[in-house]
Amino acid sequence: MLRRLSIRDFVIVDRLELDFGAGFGALTGETGAGKSILLDALGLALGERADAGMVRGGCDKADVSAEFDLPPGEEPASWLAGQELEAEDGILILRRAIDAGGRGKAWINGTPVTLAQLRALGQWLADIHGQHAHHALLRSETQRLLLDARAGAAELAAAVAAHWREWQRLAQLRQAAERDTAASARERELLGWQLGELESLAFDADEWREINTEHGRLAHAADLVSGVEEALDALGDGEQAVRAALGHCAGRLAALAAVDPALGEARELVDAAAIQAGEAIHALRRYRERLDVDPQRLAEIERRIGAVLDMARKYRTTPEELPALAAAWRARRDALEASADPTRLAAAEDAARAAFEAAAARLGEARRAAAAALSSEITAAMQTLAMAGGKFEAALIPGEPSAHGRETVEFQVAANQGQALRALAKVASGGELSRIGLAIQVMTSRDSATPTLIFDEVDVGIGGRVAEIVGQLLHRLGRDRQVLCVTHLPQVAARADWQWQISKETRGGQSLSAVTPLDGPARIEEIARMLGGVDITGTTRRHAAEMLAGKPDGGEEG
């Protein structure tokens, strides 16, 4: 769960260090005080998009870090190991810094990471339901993803999409083969002739290097012989050979060194030079014996080089690239041959379609089971959310095969008893959508493994008894998870296990957010403010105290 949030120079926050508790926590305060800004800061640490407007006016950068417990399960730990990251003592610290130009940096436990890595880890740590989440529920894609998540079928849905793509790919190949048979045959014939030319050349890059080296040696054989003879004459065969002079010098220095040992080093160097000269003479004689002056071999190599260069010019490439060109032609020919048989392609297409149908059938079964359970739960929740007699159904509408399976997911609702079910997007009013959307988010969050759930003013548009029920739902959810909720409703805040007041104050001529943890009396005062507005009376305070006193769940929640 979320343990600590540190914020520096973010929007209207200068410095905040917040320690979070378990259970259900409410963040309350006047409009514009910065309640949602705290959640925006947390979202930034979790990898959401950033811009320069997040940096507090007059500051160089904004800095946010969030400390979480390592969530349970193998996936987060395996992901960290795969990224060569560690969670020391089971703690994860996510940090994000944004400069005044909008450029940002990210870290996990002090190690620089990409934004994609930060976002990937964040999905296991917290789930944020924003103010516009209800409207997102109107989209078919959102409804499908929610149902697949409820069914635990996200991987199966991805497999269905992969089978669909393979089926469509093979169908296109088969259609192309049927349509382009003549053109394909002409291209295969041309490729076969070109490959025959290259293969008859029997050329490879290693041979090209070897024959060029040999050609250089044979083409300069006369110069090589002359140069070697000249070097031998200077070193050992001539009248003033170096080796003889070095030998005479070494003998003379040996005699002198007997008189003065200081000449010993010079004598040793001359001895070594004489030895090296002798070895050079032996090496040059061996090379001279091996040197082959063969005009016939030179002509043969020149013909081979000419043939290779002619082939390279013909196909507008270099000799070194000829093997790669042959490989590309061979791959293209093989692909054309593979696609030249519509019957074989049709069989592969049928197999791919069968794999899709089997996976889609399994996905449909999982969706139907999850849809029945979700429909029952949301319908039951509607009865307590001022929609008695209403009904919700996660409908599966059969349709043509697609990347998403054999059916379309459509959330349908009848807000009142006796009404026919219709698509959520067509029948729900603003207030009804808020209530149904909140019920869907709470119910689907139960199935999430994410340890921290955040609701940002998702209770807009409700009040009275409905607001009290919403508070009960969130409190119940907080038994197993950490739940944070930004709310304006006293009925919701009163159900929280703990409460913070976010206010705006002026310091140094600037409006800044402040956070105050509320104890018993202060919490009564804040609930009273939420109930009574500007003028808080003793009656309002008593009402607030009664609401807080009734906070623990009673029998009505079951």
Is residue 71 over pLDDT 60? yes
The band of 183, judged by pLDDT with boundaries at 50, 70 and 90, is: low
CA pair distance 376, 362, nearest whole angstrom: 22
pLDDT of residue 32: 73
Rg (CA), the chain: 41
Pick the most confident of 213-227, 416-430, 502-516: 502-516
pLDDT of residue 7: 93
pLDDT of residue 557: 37
Domain boundaries, the chain: 186-338
pLDDT tens per residue across span 374-413: 999 999 888 887 788 889 999 999 989 999 999 999 999 9
pLDDT of residue 340: 62
Q: Could you give the residue ranges of the DSSP H alpha helices within 35-139?
A: 35-45, 74-82, 115-122, 133-136
Pick the most confident of 75-84, 155-164, 238-247: 155-164
The percent of residues in the chain predicted with pLDDT above 90, rounded, is 28
Q: What is the DSSP letter of 535?
A: S
pLDDT tens per residue across span 94-111: 999 999 888 899 999 999
Is residue 86 over pLDDT 90? no
Query: Do residues 535 and 478 make contact, with C-beta atoms less than 8 angstroms apart?
Result: no
Residue showing tokens 């963040």: 27
Is residue 44 over pLDDT 50? yes
Query: Do residues 453 and 483 make contact, with C-beta atoms less than 8 angstroms apart?
Result: yes
Of residues 281 and 525, more confidence is placed in 525
CA pair distance 104, 114, nearest whole angstrom: 10
pLDDT of residue 498: 93
Is residue 421 over pLDDT 50? yes
pLDDT of residue 556: 39
- What are residue 62's DSSP bridge partners? 98
Q: Could you give the residue ranges of the DSSP H alpha helices within 46-107?
A: 74-82
Query: Do residues 293 and 225 make contact, with C-beta atoms less than 8 angstroms apart?
Result: yes
The band of 533, judged by pLDDT with boundaries at 50, 70 and 90, is: low
Is residue 16 over pLDDT 70? yes
- Residue type at 177 in one-letter notation: A
Q: Which of 60-64, 149-153, 383-387, 531-535 has the lowest average pLDDT?
A: 531-535
Pick the most confident of 214-228, 235-249, 371-385: 371-385
CA pair distance 19, 7, nearest whole angstrom: 12
pLDDT tens per residue across span 246-288: 888 888 888 888 888 888 888 888 888 888 888 888 887 777 7
- Residue type at 105 in one-letter notation: K
CA pair distance 372, 439, nearest whole angstrom: 16
Q: Is 220 exposed, middle or buried (0-12, 13-18, 19+ CB in 10 A)?
A: exposed
pLDDT of residue 174: 82
Q: Most distant CA pair in the chain: distance in Å?
A: 130
pLDDT tens per residue across span 339-375: 666 778 889 999 999 999 999 999 999 999 999 999 9
pLDDT of residue 223: 63
For the whole model, what pTM was predicted?
Answer: 0.60
The string of DSSP codes covering 303-332 is HHHHHHHHHHHHTTS-GGGHHHHHHHHHHH
pLDDT tens per residue across span 116-172: 999 989 888 888 876 555 666 788 888 898 899 889 898 999 999 999 999 999 998
pLDDT tens per residue across span 307-316: 888 888 888 8
The tokens for 159 are 């497999």
The tokens for 406 are 């054999």
The band of 555, judged by pLDDT with boundaries at 50, 70 and 90, is: very low
What does DSSP say about strands 498-507 and 24-28: parallel, antiparallel, or unpaired?
parallel
Q: How far is CA 40 from CA 20, 43, 50, in A?
A: 16, 5, 10
The band of 233, judged by pLDDT with boundaries at 50, 70 and 90, is: confident
Is residue 39 over pLDDT 90? no
Q: How far is CA 157 from CA 146, 160, 169, 367, in A?
A: 12, 5, 19, 10
Q: Which of 111-120, 280-289, 516-525 has the lowest average pLDDT?
A: 280-289
**φ and ψ of 347, to 5 deg:** -65, -40
CA pair distance 503, 490, nearest whole angstrom: 16
**What value does the mean pLDDT take over residues 439-447?**
73
